[in-house]
A and B are shown apart, each in its own frame.
Chain A
Amino acid sequence: MTTRPFGEAVQRREDPRLLTGRGRYLDDLGSGALAAAFVRSPHAHAVVRDIDVADALDVDGLVAVYTWEDLPERLARPLPLLIPHPALTHGRTALPLARDRVRHVGEPVVMVVARDRYLAEDACALIRVDYDPLPAVVGLEEAARGERLVHDDVPGNVGAHLVQSVPSADGREAGEAIAAAPHRLEFRLDIERSASMPLEGRGVYARWDADDASLRVYSSTQTSTSVRMALAATLGLPLPKVEVIAPDVGGGFGVKIMHPWPEEVLVPWAAMLLGREVKWTEDRREHFTSSAHERAQAHSVRVGFDDDGRVLGLDVTILHDHGAYTPYGIIVPIITSTQLPGPYRLGAYRVAFSSVYTTTVQVTPYRGAGRPQAVFCMERTMDRIAAHLGLDRTAVRAANLIQPEEFPYDQGLTFQDGRPLVYDSGDYPESLRLLKELIGWDSFAAEKERAAAGGRRLGIGIGCYVEGTGVGPYEGGHVQITSDGRVHVSTGLTSQGQGHETVFAQIAATELGVPLERVSVVTGDTRRFGYAVGTFASRAAVMSGNAIALACRKVREKALRIAAEALEADPRDLEITDGLVHVAGVPGASVPLATVAVLANPLRYAFDDEAARATQFAGASPPDRPPVAEGEEPGLEGRGYYSPIRSTFASGMHAAIVETDPLTAEIRILRYAVVHDCGNLVNPMIVEGQIHGGVAQGVGGALYERMVYDGHGQLLNASFMDFLMPYATEVPHVETAHLQTPSPLNPLGIKGAGEAGVIPVSAVIASAVEDAEGIPVMKMPISPSELFDLRRAAGGPQAS
């Protein structure tokens, strides 16, 4: 048993309950609740003429049917636009229930509440909605042409346009730097739509307590505190009368940071109105057509470079498809724009994006959040440069890398938090060296040749990235030591499988010097902690981890002060080991934290033997001083907040070896290597797990997953039969090496790790397939039939 578990691969504390069926996910709650179901638009774009609910009223067990007309004024308005940005000149959000227009298949039109979900769906099937279909707007090109409008008052379908430009050191703009460069290239790179696709969909369960006039809502969300504030505002309730709890959440990957969803406000509203518990659990088809997607972007690149491949000027124009609405603003293309330079020192850089409306599901961040596109764009550019100059791809990267002595490195851009994009620390050349060693980069040419002699096609690829993690504005933590010696930690952000109960306990146990077993952690419960932002942007460990550490330091200081009095020692001579405060180097002279907690709370009433020691006649408190000193508070507890000046930047490099089948064009990943630097590791086992999972999602995005819309805006593959997520048989074994460059920005020196694994995978696989085939790969994902078509277009040998 150690009291310094920070940095150790301790087993997860959430596992015993999750392994024995005792997890509490959203649909496991509220066994007696009424069930909600929704009538959703079957059209991508239509006028809603009439809604006839008459037949549904006969369904046994039906409780209520609601359309837009039934909604009170506060609910009848468009849902919030969560992240306003000056460049988002034409932001539009949906109504909770459609009024007279629907803009994507799956948009909710009618809510039904019934005794159970079967009956609610029976009623939905009997409701007749009369639509007048309008032309769909599908795909970037059609949206950008602006001939058909998604919103009548958004000309050209353009929601936002943003340009950022960083001149070179000698003051030249990108265009000028490119024109003057010895070498120039111009090309286009595309990435398709995908989605977070957690195995648990969304869900919300609401209980209205009429006697107490209070509302409790459980939601499968990545931000319970913000859902709470949104609900109080939307339902017109005082904030203290609303509590929101994220129970065990079955994966998020970004989609559940979006809020409040239509269902998230409608279900609590119905619960209040009906005075009954109401629950809605999203089904898989709903998740495909009614939550959110991401990734679809086209990038037009112009680059100028010197003979060594150094980038002198880079100009990227991005077209981003944000779907039918922009509730989460334009964070995704902002992140692409600003993370595109990656680990490189670019001469001059200009990036412009237009974000356009289509009649498809809205786009909000999915793990990586615009970075996979950015890295695909930058890394494909590096490969194009290498190919053009006939140089090794890693040599071109090495020529452009920011050097360790250049930190802090200012990219001259404004990041997603509205703050300057300044890299805090890193060692990119060492990362590259480690990666080349891990994958065997320099010996691969011989391996490839040997394979070719046996009729096999191998290719190697590489991708490098820098990831801004731990964005603000803040997180907080509360730590309380009770008189039984237990340590109770809470933080407002939520958990979706990242092992927060374990890593936050490791941090607290280390800071306080108590056994890990004595620490318990609660996340995402506004009853315990009301101030938080949420779990996204690889921020939980950085933000809440540091906030909890700071709270622990306050508690520790107080404990030492109280213990010093009890032990008649100087607090500076004290330390805490295994939950005992003792004089350093003097065994025997000690007081348990449990006792310190008793002494910290002067009592009148003795409710147990421990408490008796803190009562007025026990002599614990000198009679010439107030029992609670001025400026002090009773209890052994503290709150800490961590609010960084800006993000901390993790980084990594991946490489893969693939084999492509000369006949079938099947692509198999033979090896996958990752070098990862997220600063100090709290729990290496959990960080590795995050990387494995990220890479698997990246492999899905590179080879299998896409949202297939037809010209009418119908999502053709809205099921797990047709949207192909990788199984164990498709994901390669991931080999990892860690570099630890601590962040100078936070007390624990940590950087985020949640998204890292997914970020460079499309770039890496494209690079490797291109190397195997000798054909440029400019679009991802790539399926065997697409590779086959590329071969044909390149005039190569055709499969028979």
Chain B
Amino acid sequence: MGEAAHEIALTVNGVLRRTRVPGRRLLSDCLRHDLGLTGTHVGCEHGVCGCCTVLLDGEPVRSCLMFAVTADGHEITTVEGLADGARMSPVQRAFAECHGLQCGFCTPGFLCTVTALLRENPAPSGEEVLEGLSGNLCRCTGYQNIVRAVHRAAEIMAEERAEEA
């Protein structure tokens, strides 16, 4: 017996994508294996580590805790969609500059989380940064340089806003 498949349409990184998925297919698996966007990682499959964080209509969500069918019709941003063409986003640049990643496996989740955090709060305090990061696990960096990278990203974004103004 084959499983019933559902046709869904997602706007991923600004591109409309249609695919057919079984009802039980996780959004993380759909992004990775059906749409080939393997930048989103899966670290625990139960919503604790935050590796699979993507932006759903701009809000960070755990893509391993969502069925792909429930994302039908929504807009999703993954790590592949954060850069502006060939130029990395301020958050990505800050992570490189501050050595905010080592193995890089948790990094896409952090980047999505921080992108949303700074959109909401462009100049977070130290406490607010810690709070903002407190749902993502990293086993390599000890977080110190990630925290530094968030502050640096806020700084870069402020500089760029000032330049534009």
Asked if A728 and B92 make an inter-chain contact with CB atoms under 8 angstroms apart, the answer reads no
Q: Within the assembled complex, what's the spacing in Å between the Cα atoms of A691 and B140? A: 10
Given A12-B99, A24-B38, A118-B22, 8 additional A-B pairs, CB 8 A: A21-B39, A23-B105, A25-B41, A693-B140, A720-B43, A720-B46, A721-B48, A729-B130
Asked if B48 and A21 make an inter-chain contact with CB atoms under 8 angstroms apart, the answer reads no
Q: Within the assembled complex, what's the spacing in Å between the Cα atoms of A798 and B77? A: 52
Asked if B80 and A720 make an inter-chain contact with CB atoms under 8 angstroms apart, the answer reads no
Report A243-256 CB contacts with B as 1/0, cut-off 8 Å. 00000111101000
Asked if B107 and A731 make an inter-chain contact with CB atoms under 8 angstroms apart, the answer reads no
Name the distance in Å between B87's Cβ and chain A's nearest Cβ. Answer: 10
B49 contacts chain A at the CB level, 8 A cutoff: yes
Q: Known interface pairs A27-B32, A200-B103, A727-B137. Does A12 touch B144 (Cβ–Cβ under 8 Å)?
A: no
Q: For A725, list chain B residues within 8 Å (CB).
A: 137, 139
B101 contacts chain A at the CB level, 8 A cutoff: yes
Q: For B111, list chain A residues within 8 Å (CB).
A: 19
Q: Sample 24 A-B pairs with CB under 8 A, ordered by A number.
A: A11-B96, A11-B97, A15-B101, A18-B101, A18-B107, A19-B101, A20-B88, A21-B37, A25-B105, A27-B38, A118-B25, A197-B139, A199-B49, A199-B137, A248-B103, A251-B139, A253-B139, A497-B102, A692-B141, A693-B139, A719-B46, A720-B46, A720-B137, A729-B131
Q: Out of A28, A118, A686, which one reaches B99, CB within 8 Å?
A: A686
A31 contacts chain B at the CB level, 8 A cutoff: yes
Q: Within the assembled complex, what's the spacing in Å between the Cα atoms of A21 and B134? A: 22
A284 contacts chain B at the CB level, 8 A cutoff: yes
Q: Out of A253, A689, A721, which one reaches B141, CB within 8 Å?
A: A689
Q: Known interface pairs A251-B103, A283-B45, A727-B133. Does A22 touch B39 (Cβ–Cβ under 8 Å)?
A: yes
Report B60-93 CB contacts with A as 1/0, cut-off 8 Å. 0000000000000000001110110000100010
Secondary structure call for the A interface: loop
Asked if A498 and B133 make an inter-chain contact with CB atoms under 8 angstroms apart, the answer reads no
A31, A250, A697: most-surrounded residue (chain B CB, <10 A):
A250
Asked if B46 and A199 make an inter-chain contact with CB atoms under 8 angstroms apart, the answer reads no
Asked if A199 and B95 make an inter-chain contact with CB atoms under 8 angstroms apart, the answer reads no
Q: Within the assembled complex, what's the spacing in Å between the Cα atoms of A25 and B43? A: 12
Chain A residue at smallest Cβ distance from B2 = A60
Asked if A251 and B83 make an inter-chain contact with CB atoms under 8 angstroms apart, the answer reads no
Q: Within the assembled complex, what's the spacing in Å between the Cα atoms of A23 and B134? A: 24
Asked if B147 and A250 make an inter-chain contact with CB atoms under 8 angstroms apart, the answer reads no
Report B17-37 CB contacts with A as 1/0, cut-off 8 Å. 000001011000000110011
Name the distance in Å between A203's Cβ and chain B's nearest Cβ. Answer: 11
Name the distance in Å between A388's Cβ and chain B's nearest Cβ. Answer: 35
B55 contacts chain A at the CB level, 8 A cutoff: no
Q: Known interface pairs A18-B104, A728-B130. Does A199 touch B139 (Cβ–Cβ under 8 Å)?
A: yes
Asked if A15 and B95 make an inter-chain contact with CB atoms under 8 angstroms apart, the answer reads yes
Asked if B1 and A60 make an inter-chain contact with CB atoms under 8 angstroms apart, the answer reads yes
B146 contacts chain A at the CB level, 8 A cutoff: yes
Q: Within the assembled complex, what's the spacing in Å between the Cα atoms of A693 and B43? A: 18
A576 contacts chain B at the CB level, 8 A cutoff: no
Name the distance in Å between A194's Cβ and chain B's nearest Cβ. Answer: 12
Report A110-128 CB contacts with B as 1/0, cut-off 8 Å. 0000001010000000000
Q: For B44, list chain A residues within 8 Å (CB).
A: 284, 719-720
A14 contacts chain B at the CB level, 8 A cutoff: yes
Q: Within the assembled complex, what's the spacing in Å between the Cα atoms of A11 and B25? A: 39
Q: Out of A20, A693, A728, A729, which one reaches B102, CB within 8 Å?
A: A693
Asked if A284 and B101 make an inter-chain contact with CB atoms under 8 angstroms apart, the answer reads no
Name the distance in Å between B13's Cβ and chain A's nearest Cβ. Answer: 10
Report A447-469 CB contacts with B as 1/0, cut-off 8 Å. 00000000000000000000000
Asked if A198 and B32 make an inter-chain contact with CB atoms under 8 angstroms apart, the answer reads no
Asked if A693 and B137 make an inter-chain contact with CB atoms under 8 angstroms apart, the answer reads no
Asked if A23 and B104 make an inter-chain contact with CB atoms under 8 angstroms apart, the answer reads yes
Q: Out of B22, B39, B88, which one reaches A23, CB within 8 Å?
A: B39
| Interface size class, chain B | 35 or more
Q: For A118, list chain B residues within 8 Å (CB).
A: 22, 24-25
Report B127-165 CB contacts with A as 1/0, cut-off 8 Å. 000110111111111111111000000000000000000
Chain B residue at smallest Cβ distance from A498 = B102
Q: Out of B36, B45, B83, B99, which one reaches A689, CB within 8 Å?
A: B99
Asked if A734 and B88 make an inter-chain contact with CB atoms under 8 angstroms apart, the answer reads no
Which residues between 692 and 750 of chain A lie within 8 Å of chain B, taking CB atoms?
A: 692-697, 719-721, 725, 727-729, 731, 733-734
Q: For A496, list chain B residues within 8 Å (CB).
A: 103
Q: For A16, list chain B residues within 8 Å (CB).
A: 88, 96
Q: Known interface pairs A720-B46, A728-B133, A728-B147. Does A693 touch B142 (Cβ–Cβ under 8 Å)?
A: yes
Q: Within the assembled complex, what's the spacing in Å between the Cα atoms of A734 and B145? A: 10
A329 contacts chain B at the CB level, 8 A cutoff: no
Q: Within the assembled complex, what's the spacing in Å between the Cα atoms of A1 and B139? A: 33
Name the distance in Å between A15's Cβ and chain B's nearest Cβ. Answer: 4
Q: Within the assembled complex, what's the spacing in Å between the Cα atoms of A711 and B130? A: 38
Q: For A693, list chain B residues within 8 Å (CB).
A: 102, 139-142
Q: Within the assembled complex, what's the spacing in Å between the Cα atoms of A197 and B44? A: 11
Asked if A20 and B38 make an inter-chain contact with CB atoms under 8 angstroms apart, the answer reads no
B41, B108, B136, B146: most-surrounded residue (chain A CB, <10 A):
B41
Asked if B144 and A692 make an inter-chain contact with CB atoms under 8 angstroms apart, the answer reads yes
Q: Within the assembled complex, what's the spacing in Å between the Cα atoms of A73 and B40? A: 40
Which residues between 227 and 286 of chain A lie within 8 Å of chain B, taking CB atoms?
A: 248-251, 253, 283-284
Asked if A19 and B43 make an inter-chain contact with CB atoms under 8 angstroms apart, the answer reads no
Asked if B38 and A728 make an inter-chain contact with CB atoms under 8 angstroms apart, the answer reads no
Q: Out of A251, A284, A731, which one reaches B105, CB within 8 Å?
A: A251
Q: Known interface pairs A20-B92, A21-B37, A200-B41. Does A497 touch B103 (Cβ–Cβ under 8 Å)?
A: yes
Q: Within the assembled complex, what's the spacing in Å between the Cα atoms of A725 and B142? A: 11
Q: For A19, list chain B residues within 8 Å (CB).
A: 79, 88, 92, 95-96, 101, 104, 107, 111
Name the distance in Å between B135's Cβ and chain A's nearest Cβ. Answer: 8
Q: Within the assembled complex, what's the spacing in Å between the Cα atoms of A248 and B103? A: 8
B106 contacts chain A at the CB level, 8 A cutoff: yes
Q: Within the assembled complex, what's the spacing in Å between the Cα atoms of A2 and B26? A: 48
Asked if B134 and A728 make an inter-chain contact with CB atoms under 8 angstroms apart, the answer reads yes
Q: Within the assembled complex, what's the spacing in Å between the Cα atoms of A688 and B141? A: 9
Q: Within the assembled complex, what's the spacing in Å between the Cα atoms of A725 and B48? A: 10
Name the distance in Å between A458's Cβ and chain B's nearest Cβ. Answer: 21
Name the distance in Å between A131's Cβ and chain B's nearest Cβ. Answer: 26
B117 contacts chain A at the CB level, 8 A cutoff: no
Q: For A692, list chain B residues within 8 Å (CB).
A: 141-145
Name the distance in Å between A309's Cβ and chain B's nearest Cβ. Answer: 33
A571 contacts chain B at the CB level, 8 A cutoff: no
Name the distance in Å between B94's Cβ and chain A's nearest Cβ. Answer: 10
A645 contacts chain B at the CB level, 8 A cutoff: no
Q: Within the assembled complex, what's the spacing in Å between the Cα atoms of A200 and B145? A: 20
B51 contacts chain A at the CB level, 8 A cutoff: yes
Q: For B144, list chain A residues within 8 Å (CB).
A: 692, 731, 733-734
Q: For B141, list chain A residues within 8 Å (CB).
A: 689, 692-693, 696
Q: Out of B1, B24, B88, B136, which one reaches A727, CB within 8 Å?
A: B136
Q: Within the assembled complex, what's the spacing in Å between the Cα atoms of A693 and B51? A: 17
Asked if B1 and A249 make an inter-chain contact with CB atoms under 8 angstroms apart, the answer reads no
Name the distance in Å between A733's Cβ and chain B's nearest Cβ. Answer: 6
Chain A residue at smallest Cβ distance from B97 = A11
Q: For B88, list chain A residues within 8 Å (CB).
A: 16, 19-20
Asked if A21 and B79 make an inter-chain contact with CB atoms under 8 angstroms apart, the answer reads yes
**Considering the complex of A and B, which 6 residue pairs feature the smallest CB-CB distances, nearest first?**
A21-B39, A497-B103, A250-B105, A18-B104, A696-B142, A692-B142
Which residues between 108 and 136 of chain B lie within 8 Å of chain A, taking CB atoms?
A: 108, 111, 130-131, 133-136
B42 contacts chain A at the CB level, 8 A cutoff: yes
A685 contacts chain B at the CB level, 8 A cutoff: yes
A370 contacts chain B at the CB level, 8 A cutoff: no
Q: Out of A20, A198, A250, A757, which one reaches B79, CB within 8 Å?
A: A20
Q: Known interface pairs A11-B97, A28-B38, A692-B142. Does A727 touch B134 (Cβ–Cβ under 8 Å)?
A: yes
Q: Within the assembled complex, what's the spacing in Å between the Cα atoms of A253 and B44? A: 17
A91 contacts chain B at the CB level, 8 A cutoff: no
Q: Within the assembled complex, what's the spacing in Å between the Cα atoms of A17 and B136? A: 21
Name the distance in Å between A538's Cβ and chain B's nearest Cβ. Answer: 15
Q: For A652, list chain B residues within 8 Å (CB).
A: none
